Amino acid sequence: MIQSLKVKIFADGADKQGMLDMYKKPFISGFTTNPTLMCKAGIGDYESFAKDILSHINDYPISFEVFSDDFAEMERQARKISTWGDNVYVKIPITNTKGESSADLIRELARAGVKQNVTALMTLDQVKIARDALVHGPSAYISVFAGRIADTGRDPVPLMTEAVAMLNKYPQLELIWASPRELLNIFQADQVGCHVITVTNDVLNKLSNVGKDLEEFSLDTVKMFRNDAVKAGFKLDDGTN
């Protein structure tokens, strides 16, 4: 079933061994990371980590994010990061922390030939802004955080469907379904024609469940509850004492 999917799966993470493990998987087509994932992984030297990963993974697209809040410094970082490899895409947030649009910077980098992954989008207006800024540049990704949209109680599928349509005329631009929360999101992304979905290892590890018989899955769940109760040594007084 996974083999029939058209959506490309990018592994999302910052654990070196986890990334290298996913690199061996035939269903992985690229990689993304971000400062939050790198911080959680305990990475202190950004450049050393990136170059170490790139010494192993140099044939799949991989995105590294700028981390400044100042546009001039973002540009400096972006240009430097872009020199680390032909497969490197520079992640630029759609705004800085003040809510100021990154459109001018994105447009300038695109004109300079920097491959970008514009990130943290959640509205169709932002998709249009990113698209229009990237249109005269090289290949690029636009990452809409569908999972975070869902966290607000909104169904991201209609928005992602429209976002795909907005990029149809621009083959060098690909839409990423970012921050998925469950394995089902991979199939939703595929159904709406999304080009890429970024998936963390904990979600990817659920791929073995795809197509699993639900009666069997139910029994496995019952066994899990029983085994964990035994492992914990749970007991209830029978009232005879």
pLDDT digits (tens, 9 = 90+) for 73-119: 999 999 999 999 999 999 999 999 999 999 999 999 999 999 999 99
Coil, strand or helix: which one is 194? Answer: coil
Residues 21-74 pLDDT 10s:
999 999 999 999 999 999 999 999 999 999 999 999 999 999 999 999 999 999
Compute the distance between CA of residue 81 and CA of residue 159 in angstroms, rounded to an integer: 31
Whose structure tokens read 């989008």? 121
Model confidence at 125: pLDDT above 70: yes
pLDDT value of residue 241: 61
If pLDDT is split at 50, 70 and 90, which confidence band does 172 have? very high
Is the CB of residue 195 less than 8 Å from the CB of residue 174? yes
Compute the distance between CA of residue 196 and CA of residue 194 in angstroms, rounded to an integer: 6
Model confidence at 3: pLDDT above 80: no
Q: What is the mean pLDDT of the chain?
A: 96
Share of residues in the chain with pLDDT > 70 (%): 99
Q: Which residues contact 13 (CB under 8 A, 6 or more apart)?
A: 19, 22, 31, 33, 37, 41, 200, 201
If pLDDT is split at 50, 70 and 90, which confidence band does 204 have? confident
Please list the helix, strand and coil fractions of the chain in percent, rounded to the nearest 5, in that order: 45, 20, 35
Q: Which residues contact 18 (CB under 8 A, 6 or more apart)?
A: 11, 201
| Arithmetic mean of pLDDT, 123-140 | 98
pLDDT value of residue 2: 73
Model confidence at 120: pLDDT above 70: yes
What's the alpha-carbon Rg for the chain, to the nearest Å? 21
Is the CB of residue 120 less than 8 Å from the CB of residue 93? yes
The CATH number given to 2-209 is 3.20.20.70
